[in-house]
């Protein structure tokens, strides 16, 4: 992480009227949540086709539920880190600066949108508010029959049922499934309206989340990537910060504040 990259990122961000941030599992790594790919990634030890597809759930619902129950417990045991808090602070700052200005026109998108592929809820716990969760949430169950959603899953059984009689499933998006209703449209609108698109901690290989960077770029946004590793998205970025996001976001915030 060079001074020049940090200064450039800070300059771009502090001049922005609208920021869209897109996060992947690397955003939660410093809180102690496993990523999916890479050396210690979940998909090295677990097979997605046995745990994260509708067919797997039909075949072995109790096994799938057990895996999500374990992940839910792991996430509950950790805390948002400094990088999560910085993003929440930026949302509050941009909301304040837009308040009372021409930017607060009702048809204008909110000045800060956080789009995440993460299902761990850590951005909420850190205080971010305008969050689009493309892949759902670990702490929600949804009925496969009537689509009723249930939160607070402490006393769910091994193969829980809805009051309507149908099976409940984890409220996450599995391979081959559509994103939650309207989520991609909202995210694309935020990406299109953004002056800056900041992409953090994603390998950039899962669609449609990855497509948002193209929407932002073709609408003129400056792109900043924060990731210790190169990704297929790196070549699209105006500024690349090769560092862990906790340190990188904190360093940008120190310059901006």
Which lies closer to ligand OAD via its Cβ, residue 193 or residue 200?
200
Cα separation, 198 vs 112, in Å, equals: 11
Residue 206, interface with ligand OAD (CB under 6 A)? yes
Site for ligand OAD in 210-239 (CB under 6 A): 226-229, 231
Question: Which CA distances in Å does 212 have to 20, 91, 190, 217, 228?
Answer: 10, 19, 9, 9, 21
Cα separation, 208 vs 219, in Å, equals: 17
| Long-range pairs of 205-208 with CB within 8 A, sequence gap ≥ 24 | 205/37, 205/232, 206/117, 208/134, 208/179, 208/184
Going by C-alpha positions, the residue among 147, 145, 152 that lies closest to residue 180 is: 147
Residue of the chain from 8, 41, 46, 167 that contacts ligand OAD (CB under 6 A): 41
Residue nearest to ligand OAD (CB): 26
Considering only the stretches 28-36, 67-75, 148-156, 189-197, report the one whose residues sit in contact with ligand OAD under the rule CB under 6 A. 28-36
Q: How many residues bind ligand OAD (CB under 6 A)?
A: 26
Considering only the stretches 64-72, 188-196, 197-205, 212-220, report the one whose residues sit in contact with ligand OAD under the rule CB under 6 A. 197-205
**Token digits of residue 32:** 């102690």
CA 67: distance to chain centroid? 20
Residue of the chain from 18, 22, 31, 35 that contacts ligand OAD (CB under 6 A): 35
Q: Which residues form the catalytic set?
A: 135
Which lies closer to ligand OAD via its Cβ, residue 37 or residue 214?
37
Cα separation, 224 vs 151, in Å, equals: 34
Cα separation, 160 vs 64, in Å, equals: 12
Which lies closer to ligand OAD via its Cβ, residue 29 or residue 132?
29
Which lies closer to ligand OAD via its Cβ, residue 18 or residue 227?
227
Contact footprint for ligand OAD (CB under 6 A):
24-26, 29-30, 35-38, 41, 52, 117, 135, 173, 200-203, 206, 226-229, 231, 244-245
């Amino acid at each position: 992480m060079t001074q020049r990259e940090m200064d450039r990122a800070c300059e771009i961000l502090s001049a922005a009227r609208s920021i869209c941030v897109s996060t992947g599992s690397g955003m939660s790594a410093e809180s102690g949540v496993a990523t999916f790919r890479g050396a210690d990634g979940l998909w090295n030890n677990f097979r997605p086709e046995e745990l994260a597809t509708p067919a797997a759930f039909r075949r072995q619902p109790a096994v799938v539920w057990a895996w999500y129950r374990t992940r839910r417990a792991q996430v509950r045991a950790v805390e948002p880190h400094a990088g999560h808090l910085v993003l929440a602070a930026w949302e509050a700052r941009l909301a304040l600066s837009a308040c009372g200005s021409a930017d607060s026109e009702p048809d204008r998108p909110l000045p800060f949108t956080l789009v995440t592929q993460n299902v761990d809820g850590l951005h909420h716990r850190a205080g971010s508010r305008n969050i689009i969760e493309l892949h759902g949430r670990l702490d929600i169950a949804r009925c496969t029959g009537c689509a009723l959603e249930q939160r607070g899953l402490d006393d769910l059984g091994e193969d829980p049922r809805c009051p309507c009689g149908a099976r409940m499933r984890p409220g996450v998006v599995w391979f081959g499934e559509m994103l939650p209703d309207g989520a991609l449209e909202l995210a694309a609108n935020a990406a299109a309206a953004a002056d800056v698109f900041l992409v953090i901690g994603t390998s950039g290989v899962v669609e449609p989340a990855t497509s948002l960077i193209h929407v932002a770029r073709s609408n003129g946004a400056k792109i900043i990537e924060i990731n210790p590793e190169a990704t297929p998205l790196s070549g699209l970025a105006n500024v690349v910060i090769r560092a862990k996001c906790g340190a990188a976001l904190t360093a940008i915030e120190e310059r901006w504040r």
